[in-house]
């Protein structure tokens, strides 16, 4: 018997009040690893992630972080517990400067967070150059960096990203993935939803293929990429 | 016309209350309340079309009613030939020049390429237009206002039967509404509110200031009435015998009969409007309006021209307010621009609509009756309350006098509280939408 | 040609009063824009709450005057400001508790909020009149002038005189101080930044652990400060009459929309544009031109573009132009 993963959404069933969207769906990520959720449109990928973050009521199943059941906590409380979340859209404060965005990310912290800002500038050097600019004036890729940086300000142990590469160019996407790998190397677990399944699975330690709110395939990223059935149905051959 | 037994009960209750006013206070007061309630009901009906059917927030009801009132002067008053001779043509020409310069500016705007040059051209056209207009208009206006200023000093009206002024008032208000709606509909919903607030202040300012039009703050009085005046009724034998039967004085009887004459006219108008409004509400058009109100985004997505539909209903509702405004002035027989107050003519109507039940025509009518009744009765009630509060105080004390003097303002407070309580605890109103 | 006299005359009758009026409008419009960006509705009770706050200050002034307390040459009203502030903060927070909070909780449409603010307007209006009546109350005391027309003439030797009233000087300085303080607060403090964040992106602010109810409370407190100051300065300058405060609603909204709803700097710029336009278009320019034109060519008309009664028309025209050509306002506020 393996020890339980660092963060696990275990056999989650639920939806937004109406019919269930998730059916007995399990998503997990180990410490310092990258887990990727892929699947066709409407498969409930984002919903699964929101369920893990507490933005949706579960009828069955549980979410455990480091062995502790956090199923009843609000998203805000989960942030305090060490979860960071980057929404797909509207994930920055557009009229505020880059640095102010980062400061707002650290709003719940009562200690000195200057050092964290420096770390984020080291990770995303472009943000240092643009720190006095309004975040809304930046390019799409730079905005995503601000969004990720904001979520990192609480020094989370898990970072959850909802389609971080939506709407950015392939070059920017590669760079974002590089950064995400870098973040994972510092010991932060990454859970992300991705449209660009092939590229995402390449960097994934663990991949989840969801179909209609249920787990279809679960394996390491490489194994999924090698699986002919996965390739045929979900990766376009 | 779907009224439940409960709704009928509410109306019957209101009738009973008015009956009690007639019995215990005075029949004249009851008739006065009835007539003003009917007029308010028509205004509320107009506002309900805008808010209840379409979710449009009109804060300029006062302006639309005042424009309607102006129509009464312009239609029913006899013309003043000396004034026309003195400057009538100049005024007409001046007005035309004013309109022409605005049109010219619009044409320049449409024809020229955007840029600094266009801005300068528009500015030039407007400045030139302004000076031309005031060159012609100014002296003509002075001349007209100098004609017998104590009783005339204005151009007068068309000398037509006063009843014609009612539809004309509606048309006037519709025209103003078209202007405001063209500018502010299709933008944020609260922009309409602010724009209507502005236009109503301007209408009142113009009525007060443009003496050549309707004598401004000097008021136009003694306008022809659609119903025989009490003073002319008094000598009639049937009035005198009626007074004897009822045991009232002749003058009281004449006042009541004359008032009831208005009631009959107003009731007819109200009935026709309600019939039309109900038909419209339950027609495909009405269903579409409500669909737009409830989900503008999806209505737009389905290809509905929401802005245009809103403009239609805004004009329609404002026209109804203008009609009511004309009716009111013809009942009073005078136009007094100084008496138009936003709290009374705009916000009170809103309280009526909300309390009555927005989206329901019958609700607006009931709301108008209930709120107008309260508006009239809260003042004496407030005075009584203040007398009770101050009864322990020494006579002649400053505070006592102040509190007694302030009783009149109790009704603003009461109306506000009524509005807030309804909005919070019974947002659907007395007669909810169906 | 006497350009100096022309300038003095213009300053005396137009520039200084317009600058003072613009400062009063700016404080009011800032409140409107703040409420709009945080609570997301058009606050129709703004003018009447301003009147109530001023009434409280006047009450405090009378209390102090009766006890012979004063800070001459400054008006006693300044000493009574803290009292007015306390009353207004309590009043606005109570209104929020009793009225608006419920609609926030049920996520009501903006129009419902506006309607509720109409109810609050009625109530506030009633309370103010209950205390103050509808007539005009003057409560300016202390030194009325910084310098008078006569003093100015004696010192400069010009024909045309200019006076600076204490109320005007006080208005302009206070407004400038308050604006600087407000910008410092919004841009430099944690609470101020959390307000901006909440206005920018409500969901993300929640996610970042910003407590919305706290932001709302701060917003009302700041609004109360702005309202009491704007109202008191307006009252010192022009006398207190409740209806005039209600009528400020239109220019204040016009200023906020012109600048761009939700943009504080826009509200200030918008307020001065509205004030100068209102004054400039309804000002009789004859005297100024008489000094500027060569001898014998003085204008014989008043040279007034519009009568003063139409100052609302000027405001309204500005509003219409903005709505037609740039609905986001000068500084790109929020448009829905």
In tens digits, chain C (336 residues) has pLDDT values of: 688 888 888 888 889 999 999 999 999 999 999 999 999 899 999 999 999 999 999 999 999 999 988 887 889 999 999 999 999 999 999 999 999 999 999 989 888 899 899 999 999 999 999 888 888 888 888 878 888 888 888 888 888 888 889 899 999 999 999 999 999 999 999 999 999 999 999 999 998 889 999 999 999 999 999 999 999 999 999 999 999 999 999 999 999 999 988 889 999 999 999 999 999 988 888 888 888 877 777 676 777 788 888 888 888 888 888 888 888 888 876 543
Inter-chain CB proximity C196 and A79 less than 8 Å: no
* Closest C-alpha to B10, from B278, B276, B379, B355: B355
For C:213-232, CB contacts with B below 8 A are: none
On the CB side of B278, CA atoms within 13 Å amount to 15
| β-strands A34-38, A22-29 pairing | unpaired
Task: Say if C123 is an interface residue toward chain B (CB within 8 Å).
Answer: yes
Rounded to a whole number of angstroms, the CA Rg of chain B reads 24
Q: Is residue B33 within 8 Å of B372, Cβ to Cβ?
A: yes
Please report the number of interchain residue pairs, chain B to chain C, with beta-carbon separation below 8 angstroms. Answer: 130
For chain C, give every domain's residue range.
Answer: 15-247
The shortest CB-CB distance from B194 to any of C115, C133, C319 is to C319
Q: For residue B87, what pLDDT band results from cuts at 50, 70 and 90?
A: confident
Which residues of chain A are within 8 Å of residue C203 when distances are taken between CB atoms? 87, 90
Q: What is the pLDDT of residue B217?
A: 86
Q: What is the pLDDT of residue A117?
A: 95
Complex prediction ipTM: 0.88
Inter-chain CB proximity B419 and C122 less than 8 Å: yes
Which residues of chain A are within 8 Å of residue C190 when distances are taken between CB atoms? 107
Instruction: Look up tokens 């307020």; give the residue.
Output: C271
Q: How far is C196 from chain B (nearest CA, A)?
A: 21
On the CB side of C240, CA atoms within 13 Å amount to 28
Q: What is the pLDDT of residue B159?
A: 87
The shortest CB-CB distance from C126 to any of B201, B412, B424 is to B412
The shortest CB-CB distance from C335 to any of B188, B409, B411 is to B188
Inter-chain CB proximity B188 and C327 less than 8 Å: yes
- DSSP reduced 3-state for A112: coil
Q: Can you list the residues of chain A whose pLDDT is less than 50?
A: 1
pLDDT digits (tens, 9 = 90+) for A191-203: 999 988 889 999 9
Q: What is the pLDDT of residue A1?
A: 43
Task: Say if C173 is an interface residue toward chain A (CB within 8 Å).
Answer: no
Inter-chain CB proximity A107 and C194 less than 8 Å: yes
Give every CB contact of residue C145 below 8 A, 6+ residues apart in sequence.
C151, C163, C164, C165, C166
B137 or B2: which leads in pLDDT: B137
Which residues of chain B are within 8 Å of residue C112 when distances are taken between CB atoms? 423, 427
Q: What is the pLDDT of residue A204?
A: 93
Q: How far apart are CA C309 and CA C304, in angstroms?
A: 12
CA of residue A209 relative to chain centroid, distance = 15
- Where does residue B249 rank: exposed (0-12), middle (13-18), buried (19+ CB within 10 A)? exposed
Q: What is the pLDDT of residue C157?
A: 83
Q: What is the pLDDT of residue C11?
A: 87
pTM: 0.89
Task: Say if C319 is an interface residue toward chain A (CB within 8 Å).
Answer: no
Highest average pLDDT, of B7-11, B400-404, C325-329, comes from: B7-11
Find the closest chain C residue to B60 by CA distance: C250
pLDDT digits (tens, 9 = 90+) for B122-177: 889 998 998 899 889 888 988 888 888 888 888 888 889 999 999 999 999 999 99
- Where does residue C72 rank: exposed (0-12), middle (13-18), buried (19+ CB within 10 A)? exposed
Q: Is residue B369 within 8 Å of B355, Cβ to Cβ?
A: no
Find the closest chain B residue to C309 by CA distance: B205
Q: What is the pLDDT of residue B407?
A: 76
Inter-chain CB proximity C193 and A79 less than 8 Å: no
Which residues of chain C are within 8 Å of residue B188 when distances are taken between CB atoms? 261, 327, 335-336
Q: What is the pLDDT of residue A2?
A: 57
CA distances from residue A25 to A68, A149, A212 in whole angstroms, order as listed: 19, 29, 10
Q: What is the pLDDT of residue B396?
A: 67
pLDDT digits (tens, 9 = 90+) for B302-357: 878 888 889 999 999 999 999 999 999 999 999 999 899 888 889 899 999 999 98
Q: How far apart are CA A107 and CA C175, in angstroms?
A: 31
Which residues of chain C are within 8 Å of residue A85 when distances are taken between CB atoms? 207
Task: Say if C188 is an interface residue toward chain A (CB within 8 Å).
Answer: no
CA distances from residue C253 to B46, B205, C200, C259 in whole angstroms, order as listed: 26, 19, 21, 10
CA distances from residue A218 to A46, A228, B7 in whole angstroms, order as listed: 17, 14, 63
Inter-chain CB proximity A94 and C207 less than 8 Å: no
């Amino acid at each position: 018997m393996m020890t339980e993963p660092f963060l696990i959404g275990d056999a989650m069933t639920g939806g937004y009040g109406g019919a269930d969207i998730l059916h007995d769906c399990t998503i997990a990520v180990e410490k310092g690893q990258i887990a990727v959720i892929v699947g066709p449109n409407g498969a409930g990928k984002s919903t699964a992630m929101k369920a893990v973050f507490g933005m949706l009521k579960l009828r069955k199943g549980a979410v455990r972080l480091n062995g502790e059941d956090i199923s009843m906590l609000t998203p805000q409380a989960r942030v305090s517990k060490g979860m960071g979340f980057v929404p797909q859209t509207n994930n920055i404060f557009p009229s505020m400067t880059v640095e102010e965005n980062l400061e707002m990310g650290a709003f719940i912290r009562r200690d000195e967070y200057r050092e964290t800002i420096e770390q984020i500038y080291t990770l995303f050097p472009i943000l240092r150059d643009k720190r006095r600019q309004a975040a809304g004036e930046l390019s799409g890729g730079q905005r995503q960096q601000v969004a990720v940086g904001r979520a990192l300000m609480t020094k989370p142990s898990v970072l959850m990203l909802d389609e971080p590469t939506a709407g950015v160019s392939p070059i920017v996407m590669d760079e974002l993935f590089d950064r995400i790998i870098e973040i994972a190397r510092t010991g932060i677990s990454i859970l992300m939803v991705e449209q660009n399944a092939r590229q995402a699975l390449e960097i994934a330690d663990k991949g989840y293929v969801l179909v209609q709110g249920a787990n279809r395939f679960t394996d390491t990223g490489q194994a999924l990429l090698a699986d002919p059935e996965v390739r045929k149905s979900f990766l376009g051959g | 016309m779907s009224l439940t037994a409960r709704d009928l009960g509410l109306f019957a209750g209101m009738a009973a209350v008015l009956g009690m006013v007639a019995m215990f206070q005075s029949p004249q007061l009851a008739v006065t309340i009835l007539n003003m309630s009917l007029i308010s009901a028509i205004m509320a009906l107009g506002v309900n079309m805008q808010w209840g059917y379409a979710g449009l927030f009109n804060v300029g009801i006062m302006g639309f009613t005042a424009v309607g009132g102006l129509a009464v002067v312009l239609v029913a008053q006899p013309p003043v030939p000396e004034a026309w001779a003195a400057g009538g043509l100049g005024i007409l020409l001046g007005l035309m020049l004013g309109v022409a310069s605005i049109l010219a500016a619009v044409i320049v705007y449409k024809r020229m390429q955007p840029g600094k040059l266009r801005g300068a051209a528009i500015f030039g056209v407007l400045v030139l237009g302004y000076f031309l207009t005031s060159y012609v208009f100014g002296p003509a206006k002075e001349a007209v206002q100098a004609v017998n200023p104590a009783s005339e000093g204005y151009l007068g009206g068309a000398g037509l039967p006063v009843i014609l002024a009612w539809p004309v008032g509606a048309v006037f208000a519709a025209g103003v509404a078209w202007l405001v709606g063209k500018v502010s509909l299709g933008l944020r919903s609260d922009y309409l509110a602010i724009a209507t607030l502005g236009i109503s202040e301007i209408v009142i300012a113009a009525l007060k200031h443009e003496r050549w039009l309707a004598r401004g703050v000097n008021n136009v009085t003694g306008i022809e009435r659609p119903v025989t005046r009490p003073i002319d009724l008094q000598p009639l034998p049937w009035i005198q015998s009626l007074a004897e039967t009822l045991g009232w004085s002749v003058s009281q009887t004449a006042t009541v009969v004359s008032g009831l004459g208005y009631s009959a006219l107003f009731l007819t108008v109200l009935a026709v409007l309600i019939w039309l409004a109900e038909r419209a509400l339950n027609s495909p058009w009405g269903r579409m309006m409500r669909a737009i109100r409830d989900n503008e985004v999806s209505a737009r997505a389905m290809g509905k021209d929401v802005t245009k539909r809103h403009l239609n209903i805004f004009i329609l509702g404002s026209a109804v307010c203008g009609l009511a405004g004309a009716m009111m002035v013809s009942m009073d027989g005078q136009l007094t621009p100084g008496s138009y107050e936003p709290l009374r003519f705009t916000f009170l109507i809103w309280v009526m609509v909300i309390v009555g039940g927005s989206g329901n025509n019958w609700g607006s009518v009931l709301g108008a009756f209930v709120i107008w009744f309260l508006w009239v009765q809260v003042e004496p009630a407030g005075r009584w309350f203040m007398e009770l509060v101050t009864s322990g105080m020494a006579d002649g004390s400053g505070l006592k006098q102040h509190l007694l003097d302030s009783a009149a303002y109790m009704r603003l407070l009461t109306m506000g509280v009524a509005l807030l309580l309804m909005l919070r605890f019974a947002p659907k109103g007395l007669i909810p939408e169906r | 040609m006497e350009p100096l006299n022309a300038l003095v005359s213009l300053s005396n009758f137009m520039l200084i009063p317009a600058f003072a009026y613009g400062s009063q409008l700016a404080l009011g419009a800032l409140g409107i824009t703040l409420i709009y960006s945080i609570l997301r509705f058009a606050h129709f009770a703004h003018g009447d709450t301003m009147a109530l706050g001023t009434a409280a200050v006047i009450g405090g002034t009378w209390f102090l005057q009766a006890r012979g307390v004063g800070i001459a040459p400054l008006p006693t009203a300044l000493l009574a400001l803290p009292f007015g502030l306390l009353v207004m903060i309590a009043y606005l927070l109570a209104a929020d508790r009793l009225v608006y909070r419920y609609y926030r909780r049920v996520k009501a449409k903006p129009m419902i909020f506006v309607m509720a603010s109409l109810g609050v307007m009625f109530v506030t209006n009633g309370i103010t009149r209950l205390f103050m009546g509808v007539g005009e109350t003057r409560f300016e005391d202390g030194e009325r002038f910084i310098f008078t027309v006569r003093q100015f003439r004696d010192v400069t030797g010009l024909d045309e005189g200019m006076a600076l009233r204490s109320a005007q000087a006080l208005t302009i300085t206070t407004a400038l101080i308050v604006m600087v303080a407000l910008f410092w607060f919004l841009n430099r403090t944690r609470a101020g930044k959390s307000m901006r964040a909440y206005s920018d992106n409500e969901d993300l602010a929640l996610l970042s652990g910003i407590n919305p109810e706290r932001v709302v409370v701060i917003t009302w407190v700041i609004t109360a400060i702005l309202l009491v100051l704007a109202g008191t300065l307006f009252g010192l300058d022009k006398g207190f009459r409740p209806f005039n405060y209600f009528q400020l609603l239109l220019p204040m909204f016009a200023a906020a929309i012109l600048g761009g709803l939700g943009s504080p700097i826009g509200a200030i710029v918008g307020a001065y544009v509205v004030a100068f336009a209102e004054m400039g278009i309804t000002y009789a320019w004859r005297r100024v031109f008489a000094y500027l034109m060569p001898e014998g060519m003085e204008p014989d008309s008043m040279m007034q573009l519009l009568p003063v009664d139409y100052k609302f028309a000027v405001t309204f025209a500005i509003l219409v132009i903005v709505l037609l050509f740039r609905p986001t306002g000068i500084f790109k506020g929020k448009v829905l």
